[in-house]
């Protein structure tokens, strides 16, 4: 069965540009309001340990400014757990985080980190927050997500996106199949599959066509396009491409 596909817009890089000058412009809250007004389904924001884009105060302001669900991307640390519990976002997506990386480079090792993740997942879940794990599309990681009892996984589409940029058609197909197979397996086991990272107008449609996927989270490309055409047209174009793929 094909489900409607939600678009979560990651507004981190509006804050990246703001922080480049240390003031309050451009304001990610204004971006969140535009996303809400033009039919985005959710706002995604990653509060990183080094606060390089979204900052603590932004979270409450974003939550107050729109009715859209907030998906807080967070490292699985006590510091981030406390912030999530204090803010009560609709969802929390646990991501791996390395200070030196430019962006979230790989999936969370849910299999190798079961013991660290289990209490964090439990405390988020007990607070009524929908927990997701950002993982590679592999059976090992999906099994680990099942053991942790999370309702959602988000599959990392970075390898798929990079293969496309490298012009490696065989790898694109291989990555796509891996994501499609794991999305089907997740859904069969009662986990809602999402996907994201590196998605663009050019590569979104084969991913959006995977019937079990319920949500895509897209940031960098949309904010980049917004520089040229505005955020609303960028979101609407992405929405249109996703809808046509279904
Ligand atoms: N999903 C997750 C869990 C992420 O960490 C990110 C940002 O790294 C995204 C989606 C969005 O990726 P991008 O900015 O490449 O669209």
- Give dist(CA 107, CA 137) in Å, integer: 9
User: Can you tell me which residue has the tokens 């491409």?
Assistant: 241
Tell me the best of 220, 222, 224 to mutate to test the pocket of ligand 1, counting ligand atoms within 8 Å of each CB and taking the most. Answer: 220
> What residue ranges do the domains of the chain occupy?
6-245
Record: fold of 6-245: TIM Barrel (3.20.20)
What pLDDT is stored for residue 136 in this prediction? 96
For ligand 1, the distance from its centroid to the CA atom of residue 74, given in whole angstroms, is 12
For ligand 1, the distance from its centroid to the CA atom of residue 12, given in whole angstroms, is 9
DSSP states along 54-112: S-HHHHHHHHHH-SSPEEEEEESSHHHHHHHHHH--SEEEEE---TT-SS--S---TTT
Per-residue model confidence as pLDDT tens for the chain (246 residues): 455 899 999 999 999 999 999 999 999 999 999 999 999 999 999 999 999 999 999 999 999 999 999 999 999 999 999 999 999 999 999 999 776 666 666 899 999 999 999 999 999 999 999 999 999 999 999 999 999 999 999 999 999 999 999 999 999 999 999 999 999 999 999 999 999 999 999 999 999 999 999 999 999 999 999 999 999 999 999 999 999 999
Contact 43, 70 (CB under 8 A): yes
Give the chain's radius of gyration (CA, Å).
Answer: 17
What pLDDT is stored for residue 4 in this prediction? 82
Taking the CA of residue 194 as reference, the ligand 1 atom at the shortest distance is 1
What pLDDT is stored for residue 99 in this prediction? 62
For ligand 1, the distance from its centroid to the CA atom of residue 93, given in whole angstroms, is 11
Q: What is the three-class DSSP state of 217?
A: strand
Tell me the best of 7, 71, 217, 235 to mutate to test the pocket of ligand 1, counting ligand atoms within 8 Å of each CB and taking the most. Answer: 217
8-state DSSP, 53: S
């Amino acid at each position: 069965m094909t489900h409607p596909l939600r678009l979560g817009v990651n507004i981190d890089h509006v804050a990246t540009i703001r922080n480049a000058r240390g003031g309050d412009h451009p304001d990610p809250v204004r971006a969140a309001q535009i996303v809400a007004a033009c039919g985005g389904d959710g706002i995604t924001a990653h509060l990183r340990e080094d606060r390089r884009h979204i900052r603590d105060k932004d979270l409450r302001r974003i939550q107050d400014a729109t009715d859209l669900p907030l998906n807080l991307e967070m490292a699985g640390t006590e510091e981030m757990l406390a912030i999530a519990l204090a803010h009560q976002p609709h969802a929390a997506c646990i991501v791996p985080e390395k200070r030196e990386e430019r962006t979230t480079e790989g999936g969370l090792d849910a299999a190798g980190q079961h013991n660290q993740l289990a209490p964090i997942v439990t405390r988020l879940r007990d607070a009524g927050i929908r927990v997701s794990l950002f993982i590679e599309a592999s059976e090992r990681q999906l099994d680990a997500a099942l053991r942790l009892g999370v309702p959602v996984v988000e599959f990392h589409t970075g390898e798929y996106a990079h293969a496309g940029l490298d012009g490696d058609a065989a790898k694109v197909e291989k990555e796509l199949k891996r994501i499609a197979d794991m999305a089907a397996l997740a859904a069969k086991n009662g986990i809602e599959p999402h996907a994201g990272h590196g998605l663009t107008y050019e590569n979104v449609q084969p991913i959006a066509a995977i019937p079990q996927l319920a949500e895509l989270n897209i940031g960098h490309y949309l904010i980049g396009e917004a520089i040229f055409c505005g955020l609303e047209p960028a979101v609407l174009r992405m929405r249109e491409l996703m809808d046509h793929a279904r």
